[in-house]
Every structure is written in structure tokens, then in C-alpha cells.
């Protein structure tokens, strides 16, 4: 007998344009040492040996048949000590990646029908969370998308006109790579005291101010800062991140978050990673140097423009036909980059995650063949 499953999507869900994930072809060739996965801003470095050993030992000696420890084995305390020493345990909460943090922030603070303002272009997954909650995404499109810091007053005016429940900023911005100074953030935070200002610091460690803006939390109760282990700390596969915010925001987040959602192994890996910060800092330094090399080399091609970046990625612009050629050559060499042409106004743009120096050299060598 045929079983017929009847289901009806909530109307807001049926209209959602899903977040466009990257191609998964790299996984098919991941045992090839030459594969270069430069499409999702992951770290090019393997996880530190200390993290590997800790995980193996943990698996043999601890109960993975139990749900995760709700105190995160003290990870929150360690994070505060290292990255936000004047904050307390009431100002931090772990999530299974910044994606989960953003989802919970939207669930808790975006009532249906309210407006959510963001600086365009932005991280598109966030849009999806807002639409699920029936919020209205209101993008402010700067006249110069590369340095919106010059028009922060116009952005604020736009936000005030829309009376938003949330303003979402990414600092440094993905995919452009610019950095907003604290003075700009403060202007936004002060102009909208009834609005939750979310600052997503996924790439902060690669910026000129790696400590980020957490000190603003001492003055502003309407600010939430999202951090992740996925980028500089190299744990994208584990799915772990945290939010720093005023205790009222954290209390609200604890109501909507599933307390057992961060896995035991992710917590174990994160604890070992922050004990390996010496090694990780060297990796970050290498990425920053390679970023400079890559931008400089890319800009030697007259057909290409590469933009300065404070993240672990470089935004590149060229003609659409040339992109096709470049992508073809990259893919047959197992190099995967992020095409951004699905983003409105970004035809001809693609983004290269900064990998190792060797990967940057290969990219330039291939471009020399394509563009000669």
C-alpha cells in the first residue's frame, strides 16, 4: 500500500530562498594533498596535534554515551579569561557555531513582522533565519560597498527610518573585507538604544584589531558579539562558537537555546584549541602575510582587481567571461573558490579564502596561464 505523506509548509518557509552552500566537490578529492578548498573561509591548516591527541584520549576515557556537560567543562570561564577578562559567566553562552548563535538571537529578538537592518552585502545565512521568523530583512546598500564607514550616518538614518528589532553588522565584513572602527559601531549602538545590535566577529582574529569590540559591552546593554572557532581557530568541522552580551540578552538566549546542542567532542576540541594558541597564532600570522602576497600578485593582472581585506579571504572582481575560464582552470586543478555572482550587484565577483603560501603561488601560476 502506498503511504502518502501530506505536509504543508508554513507560508513563510515556502517562500524562503535557501542559503546557497558551496559545491561539495572538494570532499570527493579530500585525500589528495593538492586539493585547495578556498570557498568557505575555512583554515587551511590541520588541527593542532594537541587537539587530536586530546580528542582520541577523551574518546577512550570518557562517556560519549552521555549527553554533553552543560557547564562546557569550564570552557566559558577559559574563554572569558583569554578574550574578555572583565566579563562574567552571565555574559557568555556557547552555541554550535555562529550560525546557531545567529539563529537563536533572531528567534529571541525578532518578533514576526519586525524589521531587521543589515549593511549590504552580508552573510546570507542570517537572512534565512530572519525570514523563518517572519522578520523583514532591510538591507542598506551603501553607495560605496567597499568602505561604508564613510556613510555610517546615512546607514543610521536608514535604520532609524525602519525602527528595527535587530541591526546586523559583520566586522570585518564578509564578503568585502572592510573593517568598521569602534567609533562607527558606537554611533550605531547609541543611535538605536532600543535595538539589538549584533556584531558578528567571525573573522576578527585576522583584522587589525584582533581583540575585537567586547569592551563596548561594559557600556552598552543592546550589543551582542558573536565569535566562532570555525575560522582562525580552525575547528569548522566541530561547529562551536559563543556569544558575548549583556546578562539580559544571555538570559533570553538560554530560553530559546537547546542546552545540550553543543557536542562533548566540540567542547573538548575547543578547550584543547585554546591551549594551542601559540601554534594557532603562528597560523594566523602566516595567513595575514599570504593575504598581502595574494592581493599584491592578483593586482599585477590588468584583467583582475583584488580588494584589501581584514579577513582570511580576498574579494576579486573581473569580467564575467573571464570568471568562467578561471573557474574551469581552478576546478581541473582541484582549487575551489566562492563565486559570488548570485549576490545582487556582484556579477563578476568571486572570493578566494587565503590558504597557505603554496596555495597562493599555485593560484597565481594558474592565472598566469589563463590570462597570458
CA angle 150-186-81, nearest 5°? 125
Count helices and strands in the chain by DSSP H and E runs: 13, 12
Q: Which of 174, 264, 297, 359 binds ligand PLP (CB under 6 A)?
A: 174
Site for ligand PLP in 80-99 (CB under 6 A): 97-99
Q: 138-167 mask for ligand PLP (x: CB under 6 A)?
A: ------------------------------
Grid cell digits, residue 113: 513582522
Q: Could you say whether residue 41 binds ligand PLP (CB under 6 A)?
A: yes
Instruction: Quote the least distance from Cβ 147 to ligand PLP, whole Å.
Output: 18
Q: How far is the CB of 7 from ligand PLP (least distance, A)?
A: 28
Q: What is the dihedral of CA 158, 133, 16, 224, to 10 degrees?
A: 60
Query: In a 3-state reduction of DSSP, which class is residue 245?
Result: strand
CA dihedral 343, 151, 227, 99 (to 10 degrees): -30
Residue with Cβ nearer ligand PLP (41 or 104): 41
How far, in Å, CA of 258 to CA of 74, rounded? 18
Taking the least distance from each CB to ligand PLP, the nearer of 103 and 184 is: 103
Map residues 211-230 to x or -, x wherever contact with ligand PLP holds by CB under 6 A: -----------------x-x
User: By C-beta, is 44 or 367 nearer to ligand PLP?
Assistant: 44
Smallest gap from Cβ 340 to ligand PLP, in A, equals 12
Pick the closer one to ligand PLP by CB: 123 or 155: 123
Q: Select from 215, 273, 285, 217 the least CA-distant residue to 240.
A: 273
Contact mark string toward ligand PLP, 8..37, x via CB under 6 A: ------------------------------
Angle at 78 between CA 76 and CA 82, to 5 degrees: 115
CB 55 within 8 A of CB 353: no
The one among 117, 170, 294, 316 contacting ligand PLP by CB under 6 A: 170
Closer to ligand PLP by CB, 40 or 220: give it: 40
Shortest Cβ distance from residue 168 to ligand PLP (Å)? 9
C-beta closer to ligand PLP: residue 68 or 97? 97
Residues 122, 85: Cα–Cα separation, whole Å: 30
Question: CB–CB of 94/104 below 8 Å?
Answer: no
Contacts of 179 (CB under 8 A, 6+ apart): 171, 172, 173, 207, 208, 209, 310
Nearest by Cα to 350 from 22, 65, 87, 12: 22
Complex with ligand PLP: residue 170 or 360, whichever CB lies closer:
170
Report which residue's Cβ sits closest to ligand PLP.
97
- Minimal distance, residue 261 CB to ligand PLP, in Å: 12
The contacts of residue 151 (CB under 8 Å, 6+ apart) are: 142, 143, 144
- Give whichever of 164 and 241 is closer to ligand PLP, judged by the CB atom: 241
Q: Could you say which of 202, 223, 298, 316 contacts ligand PLP (CB under 6 A)?
A: 202
Which of 58, 83, 120, 123 touches ligand PLP (CB under 6 A)? Answer: 123
Cα(243)–Cα(246) distance, integer angstroms? 10
Residues of this chain that bind ligand PLP (CB under 6 A): 40-41, 97-99, 123, 170, 174, 200, 202, 228, 230, 236, 241
Amino acid at each position: 500500500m502506498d503511504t502518502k505523506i501530506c505536509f504543508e509548509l508554513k507560508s513563510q518557509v515556502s517562500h524562503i530562498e535557501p542559503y546557497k552552500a558551496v559545491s561539495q566537490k572538494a570532499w570527493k578529492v579530500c585525500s589528495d594533498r593538492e586539493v585547495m578548498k578556498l570557498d568557505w573561509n575555512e583554515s587551511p591548516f590541520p588541527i593542532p596535534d594537541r587537539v587530536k591527541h586530546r580528542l582520541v584520549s577523551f574518546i577512550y576515557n570518557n562517556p560519549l554515551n552521555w549527553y554533553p556537560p552543560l557547564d562546557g567543562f569550564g570552557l566559558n570561564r577559559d574563554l572569558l579569561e583569554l578574550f574578555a577578562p572583565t566579563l562574567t559567566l552571565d555574559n557568555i553562552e556557547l552555541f554550535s557555531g555562529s550560525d546557531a548563535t545567529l539563529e537563536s538571537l533572531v528567534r529571541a529578538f525578532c518578533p514576526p513582522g519586525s524589521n531587521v537592518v543589515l549593511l549590504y552585502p552580508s552573510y546570507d545565512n542570517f537572512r534565512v533565519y530572519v525570514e523563518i521568523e517572519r522578520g523583514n530583512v532591510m538591507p542598506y546598500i551603501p553607495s560605496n560597498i567597499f568602505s561604508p564607514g564613510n556613510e555610517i550616518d546615512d546607514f543610521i538614518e536608514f535604520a532609524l527610518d525602519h525602527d528595527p528589532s535587530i541591526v546586523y553588522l559583520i566586522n570585518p565584513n564578509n564578503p568585502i573585507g572592510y573593517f568598521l572602527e569602534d567609533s562607527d559601531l558606537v554611533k550605531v549602538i547609541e543611535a538605536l538604544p532600543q535595538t539589538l545590535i549584533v556584531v558578528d566577529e567571525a573573522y576578527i582574529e585576522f583584522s587589525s584589531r584582533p581583540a575585537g569590540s567586547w569592551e563596548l559591552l561594559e557600556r552598552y546593554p543592546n550589543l551582542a558579539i558573536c565569535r566562532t572557532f570555525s575560522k582562525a581557530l580552525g575547528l569548522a568541522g566541530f561547529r562551536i562558537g559563543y556569544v558575548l552580551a549583556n546578562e539580559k540578552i544571555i538570559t533570553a538566549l538560554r530560553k530559546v537555546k537547546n542546552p545540550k546542542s553543543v557536542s562533548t567532542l566540540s567542547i573538548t576540541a575547543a578547550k584543547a584549541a585554546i591551549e594551542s594558541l601559540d601554534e594557532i597564532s603562528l597560523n594566523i600570522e602566516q595567513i595575514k602575510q599570504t593575504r598581502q602576497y595574494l592581493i599584491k600578485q592578483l593586482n599585477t593582472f590588468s584583467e583582475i582587481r583584488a580588494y584589501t581585506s581584514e579577513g582570511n579571504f580576498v574579494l576579486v572582481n573581473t569580467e564575467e567571461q573571464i570568471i568562467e575560464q578561471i573557474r574551469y582552470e581552478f576546478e581541473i586543478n582541484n582549487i575551489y573558490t566562492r563565486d559570488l555572482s548570485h549576490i545582487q550587484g556582484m556579477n563578476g565577483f568571486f572570493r578566494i579564502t587565503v590558504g597557505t603560501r603554496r596555495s597562493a603561488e599555485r593560484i597565481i601560476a594558474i592565472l598566469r596561464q589563463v590570462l597570458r
